[in-house]
Amino acid sequence: MFTIVAKGKYMNELYEQPTKNVSALFGKNEDLTKLYDDDIYTAYTEDLEFMWRWTIYREEKLVQEGCSLTEDASRRAVNHVLAFFNTRKENNK
C-alpha cells in the first residue's frame, strides 16, 4: 500500500524504501516486456488486460511507475521519463 502526499516526509520515506532485486521480481514473468535497458536504467511494461503497467528501475531500485492504455503509450511514457532523468543528470554535472 502506498501513501501519496504532495509534499512532506511520507513521500521521502516511500522513495527510500528498499525494493526487491529486479531480477527476482521480473526474471521469470513471461507477461513482461522489457522496454529499455542500459548500464543504469531498466524499464518494463506488463499487460494487465485493462491497462499496461510500466516500471523504471535505476540500479535495480524502483524510481518511477505508471500506467497507460496501450503498450505503445507505455513505451512513449517511459521514453519521456527517461529523457527527463537524462536531462537532469546532464544538468547536475
Would you kindly state where each structural domain of the chain is located, as residue ranges? 22-91
Helix ranges (H only) for the chain are: 9-16, 22-26, 71-91
Residue 69 has pLDDT above 50, yes or no: yes
The alpha carbon dihedral of 58, 66, 71, 46 has a sign of positive
- What's the predicted TM-score (pTM) here? 0.65
Q: For the chain, what is the mean pLDDT?
A: 76
Q: What is the pLDDT of residues 36-51, one digit of tens each?
A: 999 899 999 999 999 9
